Amino acid sequence: MKLKKLIYLHIILLCSFITLQAQNSNVYNFETTNGTLTIQPIFHGSLVLTYKNTTIYVDPYGGQKLYANLKSPDIVLMTDIHPDHLNLSTLDSINTKNALFITPQAVADKLPEKYKSTISIINNNQAIHRLGIYIKAIPMYNLPVDPPSKKHPKGRGNGYLLKIDNKTIYISGDTEDIPEMRQLRNIDIAFVCMNLPYTMTVDQAASAVLEFQPKVVFPFHYRGANGYSDVDKFKKLVNDKNQKIEVILAEWYPKN
């Protein structure tokens, strides 16, 4: 009888472990010089980064349930005014009372008054330090620049470079394979968009990544007007020419 109970308990613990693994399968840990940087893809172009006691939300989107079990943000980074980046229904459902907002001017102009006192505005090529993290705004825009694109004109939105301990993270925002992205160097982790007609093709994204050569790249923001971009093709295009770049195909969209 005692043996049966032990076996039963072992099965319960094993099932719990498997469930925990499944719940955490979309969480990625990167060792830094002084700790661990945890990255959790959330939905489309939204992700959460945690380092020690600091939690950063990028473009909260997708509804309250996606953030229900996560620590409230200390920093909220916002890239653009479109509703898959500036999503007020999701933002209003999250506890942001202690959060610092970092946004371009165009986003700050559209945020409700209750958020105004917590906003630090940085525009392209400006940088600030917050909570021990270096944050620089990187241009994001569609080509050609002239005439200005109606989707993402140059200067309106921000991509971001984050320096967290000894790791440099690039978040592309909604952009094509612009010179400013191709000129990046020494990027440890990159998040690169690829969806038509809003940003760029898989081929353009792969070409840009092969030029600036991040150590790790996550394709994200890959749902377009006609479905999802082929991220497997992106991985192949990159690794056929450079096997040193680790391409991580994370889960960004709920499976039906």
What pLDDT shows up at residue 25? 78
Given a cut of 90, whether residue 132 has pLDDT beyond it is: yes
What pLDDT shows up at residue 10? 39
| Least confident residue range of 143-157, 210-224, 234-248 | 143-157
What pLDDT shows up at residue 255? 75
What pLDDT shows up at residue 4? 47
185's enclosing H/E stretch is none
What pLDDT shows up at residue 41? 98
Given a cut of 60, whether residue 18 has pLDDT beyond it is: no
Task: Give CA separation, 141 vs 150, 153, 185, 225, in Å.
Answer: 10, 5, 19, 18
Percent of the chain beyond pLDDT 70?
90
Paired tokens of 142: 């569609």
What pLDDT shows up at residue 150? 81
Instruction: Determine the residue type at 228.
Output: Y
Contact between residue 160 and residue 138 where contact means Cβ atoms under 8 Å apart = yes
Given a cut of 50, whether residue 16 has pLDDT beyond it is: no
Contact between residue 50 and residue 28 where contact means Cβ atoms under 8 Å apart = no
Contact between residue 60 and residue 91 where contact means Cβ atoms under 8 Å apart = yes
Mean pLDDT of the region 9-18: 36
Contact between residue 248 and residue 218 where contact means Cβ atoms under 8 Å apart = yes
Contacts of residue 243, defined as CB under 8 A and 6 or more positions apart, other chains included, come to none
Domains of the chain, first to last: 26-247 (3.60.15.10)
Task: Using the Cα atoms of residue 96, residue 100, residue 104 and residue 110 in order, give the sign of their dihedral.
Answer: positive
Given a cut of 80, whether residue 20 has pLDDT beyond it is: no
> Which residue matches tokens 């353009």?
204
Mean pLDDT of the region 223-235: 95
What pLDDT shows up at residue 149? 80
What pLDDT shows up at residue 7? 40
